[in-house]
Amino acid sequence: MSDRIRNAGYWKEKLQLTSHPEGGAYGEIYRAAMVLPQSVLTTMHNGDRNAMTSIYFLLGEGEYSAFHRIASDELWHHYDGDTLCVYEITPDGVLHTHFLGLEDGAIPFAVIKAGSWFASRVAAGGSYTLCGCTVAPGFDFADFELANRTDLQAQYPQHAALIAELTP
Using CB atoms within 10 Å of the CB of residue 7, give its burial: 0 to 12 exposed, 13 to 18 middle, 19+ buried. middle
37-66 confidence digits (pLDDT tens): 999 999 999 999 999 999 999 999 999 999
**pLDDT at residue 4 in the model:** 60
Residue 101: CB atoms within 10 A of its CB come to 22
Residue 58 exposed, middle or buried by CB count within 10 Å (0-12, 13-18, 19+): buried
Q: Is a pLDDT exceeding 50 seen at residue 110?
A: yes
Q: Give me the pLDDT at residue 1, please.
A: 43
Domains assigned to the chain = 8-165 (2.60.120.10)
In sequence order, the 6+-apart residues with CB closer than 8 A to the CB of 115 are 44, 69, 71, 91
